[in-house]
Every structure is written in structure tokens, then in C-alpha cells.
Amino acid sequence: MTFALKSVRATALVLGTGGALLGLATPAVAAPPPGCTLADVTNVAAGVDVAITGYLLDNPDVNNFLSDLQGQDKDSVRAQVQSYFQANPQVKAELDALRAPSVDLRNRCGIPAAAVILGVL
């Protein structure tokens, strides 16, 4: 075997081994669980949006209260919403029921509440 042939084989062995190691070092991207794709998330979000929109249009007092909160700081909004829901537990229960599909999806798919999924679209 000539020196050139040995060099080629040695180079191929080193490159092949290095490539295999690099292949092992790259993180595998796992497919999302069934029902947890971005399409599934946007489908559920769209349904929840439509349901809440319908609720707010049918309940102008709730719509007006929540609309008046726009532009206020988060702490003030949080306190006012908590007070409102304590005084109106039926409204809270109805809104929670409308939001349930998105909460269920987040829990089932392991999506954090603060995840920015739809912001990529």
C-alpha cells in the first residue's frame, strides 16, 4: 500500500469519525406531541378568540370594564380584575370556561403560559 493511499484512508477515517461525533453532538429536534403543533395551537387560539369575542359582544358591561383597563399599569389592572371577578364570580366562571381549551392545550403540550408562540407568525 502506498503512502498516498494510506494517507487517504487515514484522512477518511479521521473525517468519518469526526463527522460521526459531530452528528452525535448536534441536538435532535423532537417532533411535538400529537395535537401540539403550531397549527393546533393557532386553531385552539382562534376558537378561544372567537368565543371570547362573542361573549364580550353579548356582555357589554364586561366588555366596557375590560376595555377601560387598557393603558393602565399591570399591577392596577390585576387588582381591578381580581376585585371585579370577586364581585362577579359568574363572569369569571364563564370566561374561565371559554379559555379552558387553551389552558388544556398548554397543560397537555407543556407550553408555558408566558410562551410567545403566536408572536412568530
Residues 36 and 87 in one domain: yes
Residues 44 and 17 in one domain: no
Question: What would the pLDDT profile of 45-63 be if each residue is shown by its tens digit?
Answer: 999 999 999 999 999 999 9
Residues 6 and 62 in one domain: no
Domain count, the chain: 2
Residues 90 and 38 in one domain: yes
Residues 40 and 78 in one domain: yes
Q: What is the pLDDT of residue 4?
A: 45
Residues 101 and 71 in one domain: yes
Q: What is the pLDDT of residue 121?
A: 41
Residues 21 and 51 in one domain: no
Question: Which residue range is the domain that position 40 belongs to?
Answer: 32-120
Residues 23 and 39 in one domain: no
Low-confidence ranges of the chain (pLDDT < 50): 2-8, 10-15, 17-18, 20-21, 120-121
Residues 55 and 106 in one domain: yes
Residues 59 and 44 in one domain: yes
- For residue 52, the domain's CATH number is 1.20.20.20
Q: What is the pLDDT of residue 27?
A: 59
Residues 24 and 78 in one domain: no
Residues 44 and 68 in one domain: yes
Q: What is the DSSP string of the chain?
A: --HHHHHHHHHHHHHHHHHHHHHHHSPP-PPPPTT-SHHHHHHHHHHHHHHHHHHHHH-HHHHHHHHHTTTS-HHHHHHHHHHHHHH-HHHHHHHHHHHHHHHHHHHHHT--TT--SGGG-
